[in-house]
């Protein structure tokens, strides 16, 4: 039986029609147009759908800092690793954090040494582990954007009301709009339009992006994740650019409301407060992080559990910081597909399933032009190198099939 709802957003005829509209609109542009998706899930969906390979040559897609694992800084990882080495601590985390390299180790490596590090699927799982192990301190690694922070806020509220005092959170939650402001202000990054994240927008709504249109005159479209969603969002962005307008459009209206999720926003505001935050490879972005409020400090692992953290060391030559800003392509990195692969990652962009480097590695080899476009598009003069520089006929046949 067909899923009519899913089929509607994967319909090959609709994607072909939208592709033709995009190509027709692109003819009106004398210069190249740079559009950035800032959500890691969008990055993967774009590659899996083969969208880059069929866009007009003058329409370029850049990947932004929308992968929470990728922007989590080394000092945070080093602290989590240091905590894991204590015999009375259980670390609980989502699986995508396990293999991210810190300065000298990773949670996965520590687990192989016998440290008690457990992958969970929800904050409720972490609370249950704390309840079942009252003689241990259970630390949950709170990593993510506005999508996951309400669930962590709920867990902290539950821990306090149920007096689960051996539970705490090491918070590295970050906010997307301040990062978009930084990108909009960047003098060496030309972005003509933003594909705004769908999942984050279900929480924060449409209004937090308004400054991009009002202050920086950059068009924005909140997009869903299916092929029709993405093609329609691209067409909406190009139409705005063609008409010289800038506004926030909500293509993903079936899931995103203008006001977002008021209950989730109230919960975030009750438990967290904003602060300047360090983003890996980017630096400190003002008021872009969430820290636990004073009323809940007994559940703040950073304040509750003192630990000696090693000196931060970044992998020399890794370009993850520039990749997540859209200033470099994964292909520009000297480690890409050589020393750095999903099996042996050097940087976080190759670890996460939503990371740009892993998306390039898994799906980007289908088109040689796509592989090297990142830095070349921004005037960096990069050349296509490595295994992705060969067009593989079988993969291209799959792309053509997927796109109808």
Tell me the per-residue pLDDT of 262-302, one tens digit each, with 9 for 90 and over. 999 999 999 999 999 999 888 999 999 999 999 999 999 99
d(CA 35, CA 86): 46
Q: Which residue has the higher pLDDT, 327 or 211?
A: 211
What is the pLDDT confidence band of residue 5, given thresholds at 50, 70 and 90?
low
Please compute the mean of the pLDDT values over residues 186-214 and round it to a whole number.
95
Task: Please check the confidence at residue 311 and state whether its pLDDT lies above 60.
Answer: yes
Listed residue (334, 389, 349, 332) closest to 366, CA to CA:
389
What pLDDT does residue 352 have? 85
* Least confident among 210-214, 246-250, 303-307, 384-388: 384-388
Q: What is the mean predicted confidence (pLDDT) over 373-395?
A: 33
Q: Could you report the per-residue pLDDT of 213-266, keeping only the tens digit for each?
A: 999 999 999 999 999 999 999 999 999 999 999 999 999 999 999 999 999 999
Residue 62 has pLDDT above 70, yes or no: yes
Q: Which residue ranges make up each domain of the chain?
A: 8-314, 320-402
User: What is the mean predicted confidence (pLDDT) over 176-194?
Assistant: 93
* 12, 3 contact by CB (below 8 A): no
The pLDDT value recorded for residue 1 is 41
Q: What is the pLDDT of residues 80-124, one digit of tens each?
A: 999 999 999 999 999 989 999 899 999 999 999 999 999 999 999
Q: Is the pLDDT of residue 385 over 70?
A: no
Average pLDDT, the chain: 87
- Inform me whether the pLDDT recorded for 6 exceeds 60: no
Whether the full predicted model's pTM is greater than 0.95, yes or no, is: no
Beta partners for residue 171, in sequence order: 142
Q: Are 367 and 394 in contact (CB under 8 A)?
A: no
Helix boundaries (H) for 85-122: 107-112
23-32 contacts, C-beta under 8 A, 24 or more apart: 23/56, 25/235, 25/238, 25/239, 25/242, 26/55, 26/56, 26/58, 26/59, 26/238, 27/56, 28/242, 29/58, 29/241, 29/242, 31/58, 32/58, 32/59, 32/60, 32/377
Q: Name the residue with higher pLDDT: 173 or 384.
A: 173
Q: Quote the CA–CA distance of 320 and 10 in Å, as a whole number.
A: 32
* Gap between the Cα atoms of 361 and 304, Å rounded: 40
Closest CA to 396 of 371, 366, 368: 366
**pLDDT one-digit tens code per residue, 10-59:** 667 888 899 999 999 999 999 999 999 999 999 999 988 889 888 999 99
Is the CB of residue 140 less than 8 Å from the CB of residue 152?
Answer: yes
Dihedral class, residue 276 (left if φ above 0, else alpha if ψ from -120 to 50, else beta): beta
Question: What is the distance between the alpha carbons of residues 252 and 42, in angstroms, rounded to a whole number?
Answer: 13
Task: With a cut of 90, say whether residue 2 has pLDDT above it.
Answer: no
% residues pLDDT > 90 (the chain): 70
Q: What is the pLDDT of residue 14?
A: 85
Q: Report strand pairing: 283-292 vs 220-222.
A: unpaired
Q: Helix (H, G, I), strand (E, B), or coil: what is residue 100? A: coil
Q: Which fold has domain 8-314?
A: Rossmann fold (3.40.50)
Whether the CB-CB separation of 183 and 325 falls below 8 Å is answered with yes
Q: Which of 114, 108, 168 is nearest to 138 (CA)?
A: 168
């Amino acid at each position: 039986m067909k899923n009519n709802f899913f089929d509607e957003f994967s319909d090959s005829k609709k994607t072909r029609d939208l592709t033709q509209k995009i190509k027709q609109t692109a003819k009106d542009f004398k210069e190249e147009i740079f559009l950035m998706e800032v959500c890691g899930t969008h990055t993967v969906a774009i590659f899996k759908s083969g969208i880059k390979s069929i866009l007009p040559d003058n329409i370029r897609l850049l990947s932004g800092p929308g992968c929470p694992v990728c922007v989590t800084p080394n000092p945070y990882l080093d602290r989590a690793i240091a905590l894991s080495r204590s015999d009375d601590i259980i670390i609980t985390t989502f699986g995508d954090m396990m293999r991210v390299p810190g300065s000298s180790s990773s949670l996965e490596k520590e687990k192989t040494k016998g440290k008690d590090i457990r992958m969970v699927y929800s904050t409720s799982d972490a609370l249950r582990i704390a309840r079942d192990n009252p003689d241990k301190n259970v630390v949950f690694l709170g990593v993510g954007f506005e999508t996951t922070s309400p669930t962590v806020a709920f867990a902290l509220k539950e821990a306090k009301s149920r007096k689960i005092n051996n539970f705490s959170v090491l918070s590295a939650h970050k906010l997307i709009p301040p990062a978009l402001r930084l990108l909009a202000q960047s003098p060496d990054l030309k972005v003509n339009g933003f594909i705004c994240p769908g999942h984050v927008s279900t929480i924060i709504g449409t209004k937090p992006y308004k400054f991009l249109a009002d202050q920086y005159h950059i068009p924005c479209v909140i997009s869903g994740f299916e092929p029709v969603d993405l093609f329609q969002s691209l067409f909406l962005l190009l139409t705005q650019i063609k008409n010289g307008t800038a506004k926030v459009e909500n293509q993903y209206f079936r899931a995103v409301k203008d006001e977002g999720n008021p209950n989730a926003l109230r919960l975030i505001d009750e438990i967290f407060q904003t602060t300047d935050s360090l983003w890996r490879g980017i630096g400190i972005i003002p008021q872009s992080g969430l820290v636990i409020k004073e009323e809940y400090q007994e559940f703040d692992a950073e304040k509750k559990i003192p630990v000696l953290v090693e000196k931060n060391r970044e992998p020399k030559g890794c370009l993850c910081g520039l990749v997540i800003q859209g200033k470099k392509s994964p292909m520009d990195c000297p480690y890409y597909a050589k020393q750095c692969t999903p099996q042996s990652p050097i940087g976080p962009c190759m670890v996460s399933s939503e990371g740009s480097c892993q998306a390039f590695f898994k799906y980007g080899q289908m088109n040689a032009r796509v592989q090297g476009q990142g830095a070349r598009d921004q005037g960096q003069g990069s050349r296509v190198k490595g295994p992705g520089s060969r067009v593989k006929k079988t993969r291209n046949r799959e792309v053509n099939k997927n796109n109808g």
